[in-house]
């Protein structure tokens, strides 16, 4: 049987086709993810009249007037302060609690450890809407309705499971010999955790912090259920109410408010993108 040698041209064409097949799904995913954001950005630069009359995606006469209206909206800076305070406070508490929990899972061998580490993610499986009624009754009993405390506690509780899961893998990968050497020098458990484990697990801490910030910044159901006064509103809450407060749907204003709301988290992701990717992949491997 005579074998026909492979053609270099055909092999090159097959190699190019394989590369294109790899990039095609990524390109489709990029378009699917970026197109709504680009449309929202373009709509925020139009006037209401142009948005309803023009069929073009790009604005013919771009204007920043909608962003000026957003910043001048009554209570906007208060809503921005509330979102920032709750996100930063809940993230700080979540990192402290999850670091202690993850250190226990990583360093101490106790019964049902692996099972408990899996069960700690169960609260994230439950829809938040199913938790609102029992939590509301509990919060009302303790007199915490319409306070920063209730939102900080609930935001922290929702961030701790995932942060613990991420940090447990990083802490387990830290060599025990380093802690033993620190213990010989007289370091306590808290000192070993602060000076040895946490610096080495910095990528995991950054990943957990960014995800906790994002979750607290975008949170809406708890803010809607547990707050009643205008002074306690957050940016997502006010964005939800914007539909009813402007009468006829002012889509340029709403899109400008949306861009302003998501911009801090978007910039945060872009700033720490490498740390987040390396943190997730390293945590998965470890």
Q: What CA–CA distance (Å, rounded) separates 229 from 226?
A: 10
Mean pLDDT for back-to-back runs of 10 residues, the chain (286 residues): 55 68 78 86 88 80 91 94 96 95 87 83 80 90 92 93 89 87 86 89 89 92 91 92 72 91 88 70 50
Q: What CA–CA distance (Å, rounded) separates 96 from 286?
A: 21
DSSP E strands: which ranges in the chain? none
Q: What CA–CA distance (Å, rounded) separates 213 from 272?
A: 13
| Positive/negative CA dihedral, 251, 252, 256, 259 | positive
Return the pLDDT at 4. 46
CB 135 within 8 A of CB 221: no
CATH 1.10.3720.10 fits 69-285, yes or no: yes
**How far, in Å, are 166, 217, 272 from residue 173 at the CA level?**
12, 30, 22
Return the pLDDT at 9. 63
Q: What CA–CA distance (Å, rounded) separates 44 from 261?
A: 13
Return the pLDDT at 244. 66
Other residues' Cβ atoms within 10 Å of the Cβ of residue 277? 12
Sequence-distant (≥ 6) Cβ neighbours of residue 15 within 8 angstroms = none
Return the pLDDT at 13. 66
């Amino acid at each position: 049987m005579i074998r026909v040698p492979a053609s270099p041209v055909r092999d090159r064409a097959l190699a190019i086709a394989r590369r294109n097949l790899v990039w095609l799904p990524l390109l489709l995913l990029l378009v699917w993810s970026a197109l709504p954001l680009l449309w929202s950005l373009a709509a925020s630069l139009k006037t209401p009249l142009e948005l309803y009359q023009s069929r073009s995606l790009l604005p013919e006469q771009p204007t920043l007037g909608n962003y000026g209206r957003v910043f001048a909206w009554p209570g906007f800076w208060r809503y921005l302060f509330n979102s920032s305070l709750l996100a930063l406070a809940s993230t700080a508490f979540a990192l402290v609690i999850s670091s202690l929990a993850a250190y226990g899972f990583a360093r101490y061998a106790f019964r049902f450890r692996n099972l408990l580490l899996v069960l700690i993610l169960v609260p994230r499986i439950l829809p938040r809407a199913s938790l609102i009624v029992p939590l509301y009754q509990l919060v009302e009993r303790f007199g915490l309705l319409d306070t920063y405390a209730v939102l900080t506690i609930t935001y922290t509780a929702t961030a701790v499971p995932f942060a613990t899961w991420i940090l447990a893998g990083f802490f387990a990968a830290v060599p025990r010999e380093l802690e033993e050497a620190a213990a010989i020098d007289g370091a306590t458990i808290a000192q070993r955790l602060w000076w040895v484990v946490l610096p080495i697990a910095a990528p995991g801490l950054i990943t957990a912090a960014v995800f906790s910030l994002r979750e607290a910044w975008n949170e809406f159901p708890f803010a809607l259920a547990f707050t009643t006064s205008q002074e306690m509103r957050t940016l997502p809450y006010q964005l939800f109410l914007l539909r009813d407060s402007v009468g006829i749907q002012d889509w340029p204003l709403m899109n400008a408010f949306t861009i302003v709301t998501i911009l801090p988290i978007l910039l945060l992701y872009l700033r720490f993108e490498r740390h987040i990717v390396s943190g997730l992949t390293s945590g998965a491997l470890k």
